[in-house]
Structure 1
Amino acid sequence: MTNPTARTSRICRKAPQAPKGDDQPSGGSRAWLAIALGVAAVGWGANQFAPLLLMYRSDLGVSTTTVQATYALYGVGLIPGLLLGGPYSDRYGRRRVLVPALITSALASGLLMSAGSGLGWLFIGRLVAGAASGAAFSSGTAWIKELTADGSGRDEHTGARRATVGMTTGFAVGPLIAGLIAQAAPNPVLTSYLPHVALTLAAVPFVLRTPEPRKADGDAAFGLRLRLPEASGRRFWTVVAPLAPWVFGASSVALAYLPGLVRDQLGDRALMFSALVTTLTMVSGILVQPLARRVHHPEKPRLIATALGIVVGGLVLGAAAAAIAQWWLIAVAALVLGAGYGCCLVCGLMEVQRLAGAENLGRLTAVFQALAYLGFGAPYLLAVLERALPPPELLLLASVPAVLTLAWTAYRAAHGSDRTGGPREGDRAAESLVSDVVLVRSRSRRP
């Protein structure tokens, strides 16, 4: 007589296994790279402006507060771009949003090229760049997640990490190239933007040829109702939403505020230093991804606490760097803040992609990113407050709400009744396998 346990063991061994590599399944497992290229191209356009802030201050005689205002204006255009682009892509498809966003991003660089003839073009160009970025990031992040789920056996958070790397690569490379051109090429107000125009237009054919795993749903609600279960909605608003502004709050302080603190010491090298700091910040956000993957635990707030703890450390380091005005410590603080940015972004996207369903992924991604881009106003706020407090004290003061956010989100994630947010893919797969085993055993007992 056959041992039932042994029979069950053989059944489990014969059960089909999920593919382990990126190249296994059908449907184009590398198709997500085309969308990552599009997202990176728009990210290039979003961040290429950062090292040029010093150029506008010196060459065009623009005040510090005005320059920081043009940086923050990007967020003013970006938030409606996100909040409209996400729901629109849920309803009409990701391609219909990402392709126009790429063309609009190229147009924004064209407007910024005209800044030499009038400061107004600087404001208009940044506003248009923000709108293009919002539409591209909300639709592109959701598309990458869907292509990842359709084209590989990776875990459920691989899409979030891929979207983070794609976006951050553009954020890193764009300012470096723009800074190098501005330092060496003639007429930098014009030539600094040409590589971005070429890259965005080159990305369009790749995006047009990429399949959409999820078909457009013309009946989907076109609005901001997230349609989340009660527990998931509670987790989003009490954990994910408070975390979100620190994503770009950390990175914007590093790349738009800290380099200006040593501008007078560096002289002609200030622009190049700003470009390098911007790139280091973003590269740090990419390199920290393995740490985020190891720290993450779906039932414990380890990644949330780690991400915000790094941000707090970066702000304290920034305060020390501002106090002694040393360029190398500014660079170290930027690296730490970049790591905090990367951890916060991937943590937030992991949460969003776990909480959202197929019908509202773009919408929920858009709301998270809109909250995240509120952090772009941090450099402007710091520049305004410099009239009352010196930079070292301002940066220390900024670390206080970061500490409070860390305490609140870690507590809510660990002790809230909304911790699980529903069954995960791995749980459902395990339940399915057990059901299959039980079904086969019941059939084997029939006469």
Structure 2
Amino acid sequence: MTSSGGDVARRGAAAARKPWLVVFWLIFICSYAGNQFTPLLLLYKQVQNYSTTVVNEFLGIYVFGLAPALLLAGSLSDRHGRKPLMYAGTVAAILASVSLAFSEYGTTGIFVGRWFAGATVGIAMAVGNSWLKELSEGPYDLAADPQAGARRASLAFTLGSAVGALVAGLIAQFSSMGEWLPFVIHVVVTLPFLVILRSVPETSTTGGTQGPLWNQLKIPAAGHKRFTHVVLVASPWLLGGAAIAYGYLPVLLSDASGDWGLGYATLLTVLTLVVAALVQPFAKRLDSPDSARGLVACLAVTVVGFSLVVVAVARDSLVLGVVAAVVVGVAIGFGLVSSLLEVQRIAEPEDLAGLTGVFYAVSYCGFLVPAILSSLSQWVPVTVLLSVLVALAVLTTFVLLANYRKHLPTGR
């Protein structure tokens, strides 16, 4: 047996002992696939000379892969099993990187790659998170605490997103291979999981197709008042914070960063996501089924982070931009763990993946914020628009406080 085959065999044996580890790394590599493109935006503008409009289209096509996957994959896996959908997500991750590796030959590869990247992240979030939760409890992991599934899923997502951006950004900043090498590396890392995935036990027990397709897509728990009035109120701010911290802020500070703009964008991306991962043990302690203090803390810290963004832009300060990214990372870590724990308490086993998909679909609406602000900045100064965003975050915090008191019980 070759050393490569031996590695796959050893990983397969580890999966038999701790199957949740395989799904953790699957979510990691899918998130890696989705975020490795983010720090390369300046590369496509400066090296390949694409216009701002075309680059924004590269970003936008991601949503057309992401949204259907979030809304469909979870419900389908609740009926047909987690494993088939995660196989599809892993293949989509490989196809995304293969397509993007040929980006220097035209826009088609980028558009196709970004669509597949959106699909793989959507499947990982909706299906992978639910599968990881189910494998983080008996009989698969008797030592795990009740919060382990949400904590592990959130950690895999944030670390994968951070590492994908870090690898791609560093290669692009310090070499001439940034247009293809990051994607080749990702393919090499991902391929073994097509074999390892076979060893993971199926956890969906709802038993095959039941009725027409429309019935498969219904998610009864999505109407739960705790979900609609508490979780969904906070969710757009989670990834909206990410979009501002490492999507929009590097653009606003591009004059200050100069030739190091790509490296600075990479720094903000990685820093935000690593901090989000590091604070998750503290987020676990904040969570409580008898209050919404984890989500309230998320929004309160978001207000502070956005306020720092306003000051950083007003002063054209790279240092304050870094501080703002750290604070927003804390908010994201608090919010992701608390939201996923809420979802897992609310959902029935047969619609856990579907409800997780709805949560992430609404959360990803936050990525539209930079595009909206950029459009409005033609008429209103950016600092004013960002200040309005701070005010809206404060208002949302008070709305959340009022709502959770009305819909206190997390139970069904």
- Same fold, judged at TM 0.5 (above): yes
d(CA) in 1 for partners of 2:225, 2:184:
45
2:75 corresponds to which of 87, 91, 102:
87
Q: Secondary structure at the match of 1:193?
A: helix
What are the Cα deviations for residues 329-355 of structure 1, in whole angstroms up to 9, with x where unaligned? 111111111111121111111110000
2:217 corresponds to which of 224, 228, 248:
224
Residue 155 of structure 1 and its aligned partner are, at CA, apart by 3.2
Contact (CA 8 Å) 1:75, 1:374: kept in 2 or not?
no
In structure 2, the residue matched to 1:355 is 346
Residue 54 of structure 1 and its aligned partner are, at CA, apart by 1.3
Establish whether residue 56 from structure 1 lines up as the match of residue 44 from structure 2.
Answer: yes
Residue 280 of structure 1 and its aligned partner are, at CA, apart by 0.4
**Structure index of larger Rg:** 1
Residue 392 of structure 1 and its aligned partner are, at CA, apart by 1.9
In structure 2, the residue matched to 1:172 is 162
2:149 corresponds to which of 149, 159, 168:
159
C-alpha change, 1:404 and 1:69, in structure 2 (3 Å) is farther
d(CA) in 1 for partners of 2:111, 2:143:
45
- Give unmatched runs, 5+ long, in structure 2: 1-14
In structure 2, the residue matched to 1:196 is 186
Residue 308 of structure 1 and its aligned partner are, at CA, apart by 0.7
Pairs within 5 Å for 1:307-346: 307-346=298-337
In structure 1, the residue matched to 2:23 is 35
Size of the aligned set, in residue pairs, is 393
1:304 corresponds to which of 295, 301, 322:
295
Establish whether residue 262 from structure 1 lines up as the match of residue 250 from structure 2.
Answer: no
- TM-score, structure 2 length as denominator? 0.90
1:44 corresponds to which of 32, 37, 40:
32
Contact (CA 8 Å) 1:38, 1:204: kept in 2 or not?
no
Pairs within 5 Å for 1:333-412: 333-412=324-403
Pairs within 5 Å for 1:229-308: 233-308=224-299
Residue 219 of structure 1 and its aligned partner are, at CA, apart by 4.3
d(CA) in 2 for partners of 1:226, 1:405:
26
C-alpha change, 1:296 and 1:276, in structure 2 (3 Å) is same
Letter in 1 for 2:157: M
C-alpha change, 1:161 and 1:201, in structure 2 (3 Å) is same
Contact (CA 8 Å) 1:52, 1:179: kept in 2 or not?
yes
Q: Secondary structure at the match of 1:244?
A: helix
d(CA) in 1 for partners of 2:48, 2:275:
31
2:131 corresponds to which of 143, 155, 161:
143
C-alpha change, 1:79 and 1:398, in structure 2 (3 Å) is same
d(CA) in 2 for partners of 1:143, 1:179:
31
Contact (CA 8 Å) 1:255, 1:277: kept in 2 or not?
yes
Contact (CA 8 Å) 1:310, 1:339: kept in 2 or not?
yes
Residue 167 of structure 1 and its aligned partner are, at CA, apart by 1.0
d(CA) in 1 for partners of 2:410, 2:288:
14
Contact (CA 8 Å) 2:82, 2:203: kept in 1 or not?
no
Establish whether residue 105 from structure 1 lines up as the match of residue 93 from structure 2.
Answer: yes
d(CA) in 1 for partners of 2:303, 2:61:
26
Residue 390 of structure 1 and its aligned partner are, at CA, apart by 2.7
In structure 2, the residue matched to 1:185 is 175
Contact (CA 8 Å) 1:68, 1:383: kept in 2 or not?
no
* 4+ residue runs over 4 A deviation: 219-222
What are the Cα deviations for residues 256-278 of structure 1, in whole angstroms up to 9, with x where unaligned? 11112222332322111111111
d(CA) in 1 for partners of 2:341, 2:85:
22
Residue 127 of structure 1 and its aligned partner are, at CA, apart by 1.7
Residue 119 of structure 1 and its aligned partner are, at CA, apart by 2.5
d(CA) in 1 for partners of 2:59, 2:168:
16
* CA RMSD between the two structures: 1.9
d(CA) in 1 for partners of 2:371, 2:259:
24
Q: Secondary structure at the match of 2:345?
A: helix
Contact (CA 8 Å) 1:98, 1:136: kept in 2 or not?
yes
- Give unmatched runs, 5+ long, in structure 1: 1-26, 424-447
Q: Secondary structure at the match of 1:297?
A: coil
- TM-score, structure 1 length as denominator? 0.84
d(CA) in 2 for partners of 1:239, 1:65:
36
d(CA) in 2 for partners of 1:269, 1:111:
27
Q: Identity over aligned residues, as a percent?
A: 36
Contact (CA 8 Å) 1:301, 1:410: kept in 2 or not?
yes
Residue 139 of structure 1 and its aligned partner are, at CA, apart by 0.8
Contact (CA 8 Å) 1:85, 1:135: kept in 2 or not?
yes
C-alpha change, 1:235 and 1:125, in structure 2 (3 Å) is same
d(CA) in 1 for partners of 2:297, 2:210:
37
Contact (CA 8 Å) 2:79, 2:204: kept in 1 or not?
no
In structure 1, the residue matched to 2:65 is 77
C-alpha change, 1:140 and 1:380, in structure 2 (3 Å) is same
What are the Cα deviations for residues 377-399 of structure 1, in whole angstroms up to 9, with x where unaligned? 12222222221223222221222
Contact (CA 8 Å) 1:29, 1:152: kept in 2 or not?
no
C-alpha change, 1:109 and 1:32, in structure 2 (3 Å) is same
d(CA) in 2 for partners of 1:169, 1:229:
28
In structure 2, the residue matched to 1:208 is 198
In structure 2, the residue matched to 1:7 is none
What are the Cα deviations for residues 83-140 of structure 1, in whole angstroms up to 9, with x where unaligned? 1110111111111001121111111122222322222432332122111211122110
d(CA) in 2 for partners of 1:264, 1:118:
28
